[in-house]
Amino acid sequence: MSLLPVADALQRLLQAASAEAPQPAERVPLANALNRILAEPLHCAHDVPPWDNSAMDGYAFASRDLAQAMSAGLRVSQRITAGMAPAPLVPGTCARIFTGAPIPAGADCVEMQENVVLEADMARFSQAVSPDQNVRPAGQDIRQGDVIMQAGQRLRAQDLGVIASAGIAEVPARSALRVAILSTGDELVEPGQTLGPGQIFNSNRYTLIGCLQRMGQTIIDGGILPDDPDLTISRLQELAEQADIIISSGGVSVGEADYLGMALREHGQLDMWKLAIKPGKPFTLARFADVPVLGLPGNPAATLVTFLLLVRPYLLRRLGVEHTEPLQLPVPAGFESSTTGNRDEYLRACLQNDQVVPAGNQSSGVLSSASEATGLILIPAGSVVKLGQPLAFFPFDGLFQ
């Protein structure tokens, strides 16, 4: 059976996500909206800033009075601080003004105080100022009626600031997806318990919790599923009643105890299985009781890599995000590799002297190298790596968002 190229798998995942009903929108106070995804575009009801204001602490005046300002000086007729509504400027005078304060009617520029000599109430300017100098015009940042952000935008700190500057207190955001996570395997015990013979600690559960928490989604804990065909079906049924999506780890390869994959193939609808990706080959997309199931391979590095490269874009698209590609930068290879594989290989990698190098042991069963790493690098199927050759580097910071 040939392996599905990663690009095709991704396209199918995104299509499957787009085909689901849009996630409902809810109103979220701006202070709680970090990382939320806008459900509708936002319009600005006001000019930002709302009025012309000073960019400097200094003196506001009419530029036609410049010659007088530089010879005899201009009388200071008023003092304007930020937050005031100033009276119109008395013709032939200037106004003491501070950064952010409104420009009075009749003034069209501001000279900074460092270039002004003050004698009694007369301000004499030591250099020329042009019209509009040091004036921040109304609407310089945002114009009334402008769309400030599009639907599908994930809100970053600076976005919250922009929305606040437009006076918007609550935003329409996509509600969180209810994501069930299910760990499979008789060998698993939870950290904190005692390991018996043949047992290992469940690490994938925590990797997935971290990934989903970082994305702000609601986690339904499906616990550890023993290797039992009937229990597999009943647990999938239970979770399908509560969740929008089920993400499992393990049990999707070809072993005789890989009951999860069997249940999906025999009692659900299989969409895809076996991709040209390393680690992560047995990644499975299926539906069970009409709920999408994303079956991640159990090897801990495969769970991490397939979540970041396949599940994350799927979830983002479910939340209405159009551009789901992670940040990728070309970085020269600090190593060579002459072996070629038939799968796109994602190595856990570190940056070293402006080059990328593999981090530690790259076995699919080894996770500590992912902790050492700062991102993933891609070695496309069928290619070798030459020293200095640019490789696609995916920083974890871009992959976890």
Ligand X SMILES: Nc1nc2c(c(=O)[nH]1)N[C@H]1C(S)=C(S)[C@@H](COP(=O)(O)OP(=O)(O)OC[C@H]3O[C@@H](n4cnc5c(N)ncnc54)[C@H](O)[C@@H]3O)O[C@H]1N2
Please, what sign has the CA dihedral across residues 24, 206, 299, 349? positive
- Which residue in 115, 93, 118, 111 sits closest to 54, CA to CA? 111
Which does residue 255 bind out of ligand MOO, ligand X, none, counting CB within 5 to 8 angstroms by kind? ligand X
- Which residue in 364, 220, 360 sits closest to 304, CA to CA? 364
Let me know the angle formed at the C-alpha of 12 by 7 and 14, rounded to the nearest 5 degrees. Answer: 95
* Interface stretch with ligand X, choices 39-47, 236-244, 264-272, 295-303 (CB under 6 A): 295-303
Which does residue 395 bind out of ligand MOO, ligand X, none, counting CB within 5 to 8 angstroms by kind? none
Residue 251 burial (CB count, 10 A): 27
Is residue 348 part of the contact set for ligand X (CB under 6 A)?
no
Is residue 334 part of the contact set for ligand X (CB under 6 A)?
no
**CB 302, min distance to ligand MOO, A:** 3
Number of separate helices (H) and strands (E) present in the chain: 10, 26
| Chain residues that interact with ligand MOO, rule: CB under 6 A | 278-281, 297, 299, 302, 364
Binding residue for ligand X, selected from 23, 54, 153, 183, defined by CB under 6 A: 183
315 neighbors 362 (Cβ within 8 angstroms): no
Residue 356 burial (CB count, 10 A): 27
Name residue 61's amino acid: F
**CB 335, min distance to ligand X, A:** 23
Respond yes or no on whether the N-terminal peptide bond of residue 49 is cis (omega within 30° of 0): yes
**CB 151, min distance to ligand X, A:** 36
Distance CA 302, CA 250 (A): 10
Which does residue 369 bind out of ligand X, ligand MOO, none, counting CB within 5 to 8 angstroms by kind? none
Is residue 202 part of the contact set for ligand X (CB under 6 A)?
yes
Binding residue for ligand X, selected from 52, 65, 111, 187, defined by CB under 6 A: 187
Name which of 184 and 369 has its Cβ closer to ligand X: 184
Name which of 152 and 279 has its Cβ closer to ligand MOO: 279
Residues that bind ligand X (CB under 6 A): 183-185, 187-188, 200, 202-205, 249-255, 258, 279, 281-282, 297-300, 302, 364-365
